[in-house]
C-alpha cells in the first residue's frame, strides 16, 4: 500500500469530481465510481469495468481504495462471530468484529487505534491511545462486513460504533462516517440500525442530541457511584455521574429515543445489591434499557465475571424497579472478541 496515494474512501463525491476533472475526465465518472464503491462494493478499482481501462490505470496510480490490510481473521467455534485485525497504512492495528444473532448481522467497528480513556477492565484502554481513524478507515470496516456477509448470502443489518476507541473523542470523523454510511447514494444504512457507544463523554452526548442525530445511543456505565466508577473509568473524573445523567436526560428530551446503558458484571465489584439499588435510583425517570454482560477477561485486569446467580439477581432487581434489562451473551470468547483483546495478544 502506497502511503503517498489518496484514499478514495476519505474524500466526498464533490472532491472526487474535482480530482477527476483534474485528470481531464467528465464529472459523471464520479457517480459511476461512487456507485461501484458504496453500492456494488468493489474492493479493487480495476473491477469498475464500466470505466475506460486508461482511467482505471490513472486512478490506481493516484489513489488507493482503502487503507486496511487484513492481518488476522478468527472465527468462533460456534460460527457466530468473526474477529479480524486490520493493519493500517502506518502500521497501526485495529479490530473489527462481525456477529450473527439469528436474523441480525451486526458489525462492531473501531473509531480509533487504541484509546485514551483508560478503563481498567478494557484491553483497548490498557494499551493507550495511538491515533484517530480517518473517515475512510471507519467506513471501510463497514464495506468489508458487507462483502464478507455477501459471500455467505447474508447482509449487514446493524452497525455499532463500539470497537476500539471512544467515538466521541474522534467526534468529527465519526459523524462524517455516519453521514457516509447513511447517505442513500452511498451505503444507505438506516440511522435506526446504528448504535453509537460512549464511555460517558457528556459534552459530546449533548452536542450529538442537539445536532438532531437519529442513531441509537449506548452509554457504558458499569458503576452507580462516583467512587467506584472513577476507579473503573477515569473519564468519570471529568464527567461525574450527575453531569453524565443530565446529558442523558437532555438526549432523551430532545430525541425521545431510549438509551441503552452497558454494564460489565465484575465479580464482587459492581454486582452487589448496593450497586443495583443505586443504579435503580440513578435511572429513575429516564426511558432506558440496561445490557448486562459478564466481564470479558483481559491480561492486565484481575477481575473476573460475576456468577450466573448474581447476574440474575441483578437483572431481577432492575426489572422489579421497572427498568428493562437483558443479559447479553458473551460472544467470541475463544477468539478474544472483547474490545482490544486480539490486538493485545498479537502485540505480545
Three-class secondary structure of residue 312 per DSSP:
helix
Predicted TM-score of the model (pTM): 0.93
- Taking residue 346's Cβ as centre, other Cβ atoms within 10 Å add up to 14
Read off the pLDDT of each residue in 122-134 and give the average, rounded to a whole number: 94
Mean pLDDT of 100-107: 92
In this predicted structure, the answer to whether residue 229 has a pLDDT above a threshold of 60 is yes
Please choose, from the candidates 234, 173, 159, 177, the residue with its C-alpha nearest in 3D space to the C-alpha of residue 201: 234
* pLDDT value, residue 299: 83
Angle ∠(218,120,230) on CA atoms, nearest 5: 75
DSSP three-state, residue 272: coil
pLDDT at 221 over 50: yes
What is residue 134's DSSP assignment?
P
User: The C-alpha cell of 181 is what?
Assistant: 454510511
* pLDDT tens string 296-314: 888 889 999 999 999 999 9
CATH 1.10.150.530 boundaries in the chain:
6-64
Rounded Cα distance between 331 and 308, Å, is: 16
Residue intervals of the chain classified under CATH 3.20.20.70 are: 69-347
Pick the CATH number of 6-64 from 1.20.1630.10, 1.10.760.10, 1.10.150.530, 3.30.450.20: 1.10.150.530
Residue 334 scores a pLDDT above 70: no
Cell 447479553 sits on residue: 328
Q: Which CATH code is given to the segment(s) 69-347?
A: 3.20.20.70
CB 278 within 8 A of CB 225: yes
Mean pLDDT, the chain, whole residue set = 93
Dist. CA 169–CA 15, nearest whole Å: 26
Determine the Cα–Cα distance for residues 43 and 64; give it in Å rounded to an integer: 10
Handedness of CA 245, 246, 251, 252 (dihedral sign): positive
Alpha-carbon distances of 43 from 49, 55, 59, 134, 179, rounded to whole Å: 13, 17, 13, 18, 21
In this predicted structure, the answer to whether residue 2 has a pLDDT above a threshold of 70 is no
- For residue 348, what pLDDT band results from cuts at 50, 70 and 90? very low
What amino acid positions are annotated as catalytic residues?
95, 339
pLDDT digits (tens, 9 = 90+) for 177-193: 999 999 999 999 999 99
Please report the pLDDT score of residue 264 as a whole number.
96
Q: What is the mean pLDDT of residues 115-144?
A: 95
pLDDT band at residue 161, thresholds of 50, 70 and 90? Answer: very high
Per-residue pLDDT reduced to its tens digit, 4-34: 799 999 999 999 999 999 999 999 999 999 9
Please name the residue that has the C-alpha cell 484517530: 132
Check if the beta carbon of residue 140 is closer than 8 Å to that of residue 109: no
Contacts of 7 (CB under 8 A, 6+ apart): 63, 64, 65, 66, 67, 134, 136, 137
Amino acid at each position: 500500500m502506497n502511503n503517498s496515494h489518496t484514499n478514495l474512501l476519505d474524500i466526498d463525491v464533490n472532491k472526487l469530481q474535482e480530482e477527476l476533472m483534474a485528470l481531464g475526465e467528465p464529472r459523471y465518472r464520479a457517480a459511476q465510481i461512487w456507485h461501484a464503491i458504496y453500492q456494488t462494493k468493489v474492493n479493487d478499482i480495476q473491477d469498475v469495468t464500466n470505466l475506460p481501462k486508461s482511467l482505471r490505470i490513472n486512478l490506481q496510480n493516484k489513489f488507493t481504495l482503502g487503507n486496511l490490510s487484513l492481518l488476522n481473521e478468527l472465527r468462533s467455534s460456534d460460527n457466530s462471530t468473526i474477529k479480524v485485525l486490520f493493519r493500517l497504512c502506518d502500521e497501526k492495528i485495529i479490530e473489527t468484529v462481525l456477529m450473527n444473532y439469528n436474523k441480525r448481522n451486526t458489525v462492531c467497528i473501531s473509531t480509533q487505534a487504541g484509546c485514551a480513556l483508560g478503563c481498567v477492565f478494557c484491553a483497548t484502554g490498557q494499551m493507550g491511545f495511538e491515533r484517530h481513524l480517518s473517515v475512510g478507515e471507519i467506513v471501510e470496516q463497514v464495506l468489508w462486513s458487507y462483502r464478507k456477509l455477501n459471500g455467505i448470502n447474508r447482509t449487514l443489518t446493524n452497525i455499532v460504533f463500539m470497537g476500539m476507541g471512544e467515538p466521541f473523542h474522534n467526534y468529527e470523523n465519526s459523524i462524517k462516517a455516519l453521514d457516509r454510511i447513511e447517505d442513500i447514494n452511498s451505503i444507505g444504512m438506516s440511522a435506526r440500525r446504528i448504535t453509537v457507544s460512549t464511555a460517558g463523554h457528556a459534552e459530546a452526548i449533548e452536542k450529538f442530541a442537539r445536532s438532531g442525530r437519529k442513531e441509537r445511543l449506548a452509554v457504558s456505565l458499569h458503576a452507580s457511584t462516583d467512587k467506584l466508577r472513577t476507579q473503573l473509568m477515569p473519564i468519570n473524573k471529568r464527567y461525574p455521574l450527575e453531569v453524565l445523567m443530565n446529558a442523558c436526560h437532555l438526549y432523551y428530551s430532545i430525541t425521545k429515543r431510549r438509551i441503552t446503558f452497558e454494564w460489565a458484571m465484575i465479580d464482587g465489584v459492581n454486582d452487589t445489591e448496593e450497586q443495583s439499588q443505586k443504579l435503580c435510583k440513578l435511572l429513575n425517570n429516564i426511558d432506558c434499557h440496561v445490557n448486562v454482560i459478564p466481564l470479558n477477561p483481559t491480561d492486565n485486569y484481575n477481575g473476573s465475571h460475576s456468577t450466573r446467580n448474581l447476574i440474575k439477581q441483578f437483572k431481577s432487581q432492575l426489572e422489579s424497579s421497572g427498568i428493562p434489562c437483558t443479559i447479553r451473551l458473551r460472544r467470541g470468547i475463544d477468539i478474544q472478541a472483547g474490545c482490544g483483546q486480539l490486538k493485545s495478544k498479537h502485540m505480545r
